[in-house]
Amino acid sequence: MLEIFHIPRTRSQRIIWLAEEMGLPYEIRRETFGQPSAELLAANPSGKVPAIRDGEVAMGESTAIMLYLTQKHGPTPLALQPEHAQYADYLGPTFPTTKRP
């Protein structure tokens, strides 16, 4: 089962939201600022949240976790694929191109 290391009002909320939206079963491992548990340190040696454990996979960094979950446990309409016309917008800000004279 997916384990989400969480501190309220942090980016770990993103991971909980995504797990809920995707219908993934998960357990929350509540953490305290400045006092990382041994389990959190095993999942993310920096001791920061968010971090997850998904079977043998342990990782941190909210955007990477979200990409991992949508790719591994998808497909999901929450994650666009490269062939979608708005894929670049999904990944981040895009800017209009200008033609050079």
pLDDT digits (tens, 9 = 90+) for 2-48: 999 999 999 999 999 999 999 999 999 999 999 999 999 999 999 99
Query: Which tokens belong to 94?
Result: 């895009």
The total of other beta-carbon atoms located within 10 Å of residue 98's CB is: 6
What are the extents of the domains in the chain? 2-89
| Residues 6+ away with beta carbon under 8 Å from 21 | 76, 78
Give me the CATH topology for the region 2-89.
Glutaredoxin (3.40.30)
Give pLDDT, residue 100: 67
